[in-house]
Structure formats: structure tokens, C-alpha cells
């Protein structure tokens, strides 16, 4: 399996070569030259597999430069009930991502049973083990520069803490995450973890990461790698739970399902798109945004209009407070027939903060075959949905999953199972849970009082050169 850039001006690479980087040298994102196809026989054989065995079968189609026995061992080490120990709602921890049945044909899928209580753990724990394996084989080290709107940072830090040959420099928007999210990251004392709070929004932090990634000389000299959702390995790992959710929600492989996915950076739902392209019987991918609805606007109108930090709202579902969706380029690449010339033209506008409009192009006529539907949710919507889910189903939702359920309920179809991907546990957003329900969300015992621990963070302006200097002084 070889990987190509969406912008078409970088040489094809192997999985291990792109694992340690982020953007391709031409500024594009890596995708497989073609998506491996899953047969009915594959689905029949995979239906009864454990999560770890299912992950191996799927990832082996994308990772052909790690010996099968080694890959199987890495996957088995990652997807254990001990690592994903925070199962709740009566879910079976051995399933890793169990379904919670709300009513006939309506489910949530628990993706936040990992160490940081967010779906990012599903890919990041694997990424940590893959990084360590490849670096050891190559005798190399890496310095990870990432940006987070809330959950990616802590998931990356918990996956990489204590790993040899790895240092992590994580940017986050100063004061814009929940207290729990900040505490998870800033309370870590591992010598290889560095937190930088950027004065601004998530997009400011993400722009710095992209600027560094595009500085090929600096990146090479300082061995800069990426764990943000632009990293292909994360997307690949997330494909697995779409297959698992499908198998748990259906009785046979003749059935179709729909998934609703709370979406900010488009990485989570991009994995669903690829699962569907591989042949998983997904009829619809329902994209849910919060007030920062740049993606909903695109799927409704064909106009992709990235917004500035000033135009980006600070909301009670902060992990989706994003107005430039990094992974969106991967989907548009497929939408325009995998034509890198078109992508270069479109993203020459995006990279300048400008919009593009596909509504009058031939490409927009292709949109229905990709199965996307979209909708948005506001603060009052998520408060009402949290109350509704608690009252009707006796299930407590976090704010982002509430956005997902609200949009899912608007787009259900008779006879089509709807699976809402849960993104985090309610404990990460206590303030909004108190507002909605007047009660405290339960948190795991090992995370009690985390906000009271000493915090280690440096606050900086969104200055690329200053942050480069910070990194250089510590590697």
C-alpha cells in the first residue's frame, strides 16, 4: 500500500514513512492510492471477531510495511479492556466500543472508554505504540508538535507520556477548554510533555502547526512529527469502530445503517467516509456541527467558507469550535474525482482564508453518492437534548454527543438503524451538565480531583517564530 498527496506533487510513500509526519511536502494530506475493498466474505468472517482482531484485519489492508506478526502484537497491546477500562451504561468492556441502545433502531457507540475519556484515545493509543515501534526500528527520535481544541491534546499526551525517543509540544487555545480538559493536559509531569497555551482560538494554534509543517527545512532539522487528525494513522485507526458499530447494530451483512458524527476537524467522519468507500454498508453519514457550522454550510450549499478566529464562537461543545476543518481536504479530493490540480486550485483559496463554491460545478452532482447529510445544534439545543436523553433513556450525554443526537433525531429513517458516535464522557464538561441537569456527572475514581493538581503550562502569543524557538530550546 502506497500513499499519495491530495495535491499530487509529492512522491508516493509507505505507511511508516508518513506515520512520523503530518502534511505531505507539497502541503497536501496523505491518502491511499486506492481504498482497499471489503467483500461480503470479509464481512461475514469479521462479524464475530474481537475488537483487536477486527482492528488487525482492517489495518493490515493499510499497513503493508510492518511484518504481520508485529502489527498483530501492536494492535493486541493497544485494544485491551484494561486500556479501555472506563466502560459504562452496562456496556461490555471487552467490546472496547460497545453500543448503548436508546430505543429500537437508535444507539450511541461508546468511544470514550480510554484513559482520557474521549474518542481520540481510540486512535491515539495505537499511534503511541506505532511511533515507539517504528522509532526503535529506525534508531530515530521525534518531536511532536500538535494543536488541540480539547481532547486531542490529552489523548496524545497520555499515549506518548514516557515513550522513549518522543517529545510532545501541544498547543491549545488559552482559556477556551473546559477545566477538566485543561487539567488532564496541564497536570502531567512527564519530562517529555510540554504544554503551550496560545492566546487565541484553536484555529490559531492549528495554523501554527501547519506553518511549521510547511517549513520543510525546520521540520527536517528538528525532527518534527504530527499527531493531529491530519496524521493518516489516526484516520485509519478510526475506521475500525465503524465496522464494529455496524456489526453490533445489525444481524446480517444485508442490512444498512446510518452514523451520526459530531464534527469539527472532519477526521472522525472522514474515517466513516473511508469505511463506506471500502464497502461497509453505510447508507448515510450524518454530520453534526455546533454553532461553528462551516461544514454544515458546505453540505447544504456547496460553499466552503472558512472563518477567522474572530468569527469563531466559543461554545459549550468546545472541541468543535473549529472553522477550518483540516481533514476536509481528504473528502473533497474524492468528491472532485481525485484530481490534485483541482485541489491545489481550491486550497490556494482556503490557505488565504477565502471561500470556494462547488454548487455550480459538475462535482456537486456527485455529492449524493457519498451519502452525506448534515445539521447543526446550538447551546439551547444541547441543553434540551441532554435533558431529553436523561429523562427518556436514563443516559447522560456530553455536550458534543448531545449535538450528535439532536441532529440524528432530525434525520432518522424508518427501518434504518442510527448509531450516534459518542465523543466524550460527560465528566469532561461538568459546567454544562450542571446547567442542564442540576447534578454532577460521575467521573472515574482515578480522575477525581484532577483540577486541584499543580498545572504546568506556558502561555504564548500565536507567533510561529517564538514557538519554533521554544521547541528548539527544549529538544
Check: CB of residue 454 under 8 Å from CB of residue 468.
Answer: no
Catalytic option among 61, 77, 120, 167? 120
Sheet containing 142-147: give its strands across. 224-225, 142-147, 166-173, 193-198, 458-460
Q: How far is the C-alpha of 37 from the C-alpha of 276, rounded, in Å? A: 10
HEC string for 180-208: HHHHHHHCCCCCCEEEEEECCCHHHHHHH
Pairing of strands 224-225, 142-147: parallel
Check: CB of residue 144 under 8 Å from CB of residue 168.
Answer: yes
**C-alpha closest to that of 97 among 296, 246, 310, 251:** 246
**C-alpha closest to that of 331 among 412, 276, 407:** 276
Q: How far is the C-alpha of 451 from the C-alpha of 428, rounded, in Å? A: 11
What the block records as the C-alpha cell of 19 is 506515520
In a 10 Å sphere around its CB, with 0-12 CB exposed, 13-18 middle and 19+ buried, how is residue 439 labelled?
exposed
For residue 27, what are the contacts with CB-CB under 8 A and spacing of at least 6? 7, 214, 347, 351
Dihedral of CA 11/15/20/24: which sign? positive
What the block records as the C-alpha cell of 233 is 494513522
Q: How far is the C-alpha of 355 from the C-alpha of 456, rounded, in Å? A: 38
Q: How far is the C-alpha of 342 from the C-alpha of 25, rounded, in Å? A: 18
In a 10 Å sphere around its CB, with 0-12 CB exposed, 13-18 middle and 19+ buried, how is residue 411 labelled?
middle
| Other beta carbons less than 10 A from residue 183's beta carbon | 20
**Is residue 365 annotated as part of the catalytic site, yes or no?**
no
Q: State whether residue 333 is helix, strand or coil.
A: helix
Which residues pair with residue 108 across a beta bridge? 100, 420
Q: How far is the C-alpha of 462 from the C-alpha of 202, rounded, in Å? A: 10
Task: State the catalytic residues.
Answer: 120
Amino acid at each position: 500500500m502506497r500513499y499519495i498527496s491530495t495535491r499530487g506533487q509529492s512522491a508516493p510513500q509507505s505507511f511508516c514513512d508518513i506515520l512520523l509526519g503530518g502534511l505531505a511536502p507539497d502541503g497536501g494530506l496523505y491518502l491511499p492510492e486506492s481504498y482497499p475493498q471489503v467483500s461480503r466474505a470479509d464481512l461475514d468472517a469479521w462479524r464475530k471477531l474481537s475488537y483487536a482482531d477486527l482492528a488487525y484485519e482492517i489495518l493490515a489492508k493499510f499497513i503493508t510495511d510492518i511484518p504481520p506478526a508485529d502489527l498483530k502484537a501492536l494492535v493486541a497491546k493497544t485494544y485491551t479492556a484494561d486500556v479501555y477500562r472506563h466502560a459504562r451504561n452496562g456496556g461490555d468492556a471487552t467490546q472496547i466500543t460497545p453500543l448503548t441502545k436508546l430505543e429500537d433502531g437508535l444507539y450511541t457507540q461508546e468511544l470514550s472508554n480510554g484513559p482520557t475519556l474521549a474518542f481520540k484515545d481510540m486512535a491515539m493509543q495505537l499511534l503511541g505504540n506505532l511511533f515507539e515501534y517504528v522509532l526503535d526500528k529506525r534508531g530515530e527520535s521525534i518531536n511532536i508538535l500538535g494543536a488541540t481544541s480539547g481532547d486531542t491534546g490529552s489523548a496524545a499526551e497520555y499515549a506518548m507520556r514516557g515513550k522513549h525517543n518522543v517529545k510532545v509540544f501541544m498547543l491549545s487555545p488559552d482559556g477556551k477548554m473546559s477545566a477538566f480538559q485543561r487539567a488532564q493536559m496541564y497536570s502531567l509531569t512527564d519530562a517529555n510533555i510540554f504544554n503551550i497555551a496560545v492566546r487565541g482560538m484553536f484555529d490559531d494554534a492549528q495554523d501554527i502547526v501547519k506553518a511549521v509543517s510547511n517549513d520543510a527545512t525546520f521540520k527536517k532539522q528538528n525532527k518534527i512529527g504530527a499527531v493531529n487528525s491530519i496524521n493518516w494513522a489516526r484516520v485509519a485507526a478510526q475506521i475500525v469502530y465503524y465496522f464494529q458499530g455496524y456489526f453490533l447494530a445489525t444481524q446480517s451483512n444485508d442490512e444498512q445503517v446510518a452514523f451520526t458524527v459530531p464534527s469539527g476537524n472532519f477526521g472522525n467522519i472522514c474515517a466513516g467516509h473511508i469505511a463506506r468507500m471500502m464497502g461497509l454498508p453505510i447508507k448515510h453519514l450524518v454530520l453534526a456541527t455546533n454553532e461553528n457550522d462551516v461544514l454544515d454550510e458546505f453540505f447544504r450549499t456547496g460553499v466552503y467558507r472558512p472563518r477567522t478566529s474572530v468569527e469563531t464562537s466559543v461554545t459549550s461543545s468546545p472541541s468543535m469550535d473549529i472553522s477550518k476543518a483540516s481533514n476536509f481536504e481528504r473528502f473533497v479530493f474524492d468528491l472532485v474525482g481525485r484530481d490534485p490540480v483541482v485541489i491545489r486550485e481550491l486550497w490556494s483559496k482556503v490557505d488565504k482564508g477565502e471561500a470556494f463554491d462547488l454548487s455550480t460545478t459538475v462535482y456537486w452532482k456527485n455529492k449524493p453518492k457519498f451519502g452525506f447529510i448534515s445539521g447543526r445544534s446550538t447551546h439551547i439545543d444541547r441543553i434540551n437534548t441532554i435533558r431529553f436523553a436523561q429523562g427518556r433513556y436514563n443516559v447522560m450525554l456530553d455536550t458534543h454527543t448531545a449535538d450528535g443526537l439532536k441532529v440524528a433525531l432530525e434525520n432518522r429513517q424508518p427501518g434504518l438503524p442510527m448509531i450516534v458516535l459518542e465523543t466524550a464522557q460527560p465528566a469532561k464538561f461538568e459546567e454544562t451538565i450542571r446547567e442542564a441537569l442540576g447534578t454532577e456527572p460521575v467521573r472515574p475514581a482515578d480522575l477525581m480531583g484532577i483540577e486541584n493538581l499543580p498545572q504546568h503550562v506556558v502561555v504564548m502569543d500565536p507567533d510561529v517564530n517564538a514557538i519554533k524557538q521554544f521547541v528548539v530550546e527544549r529538544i
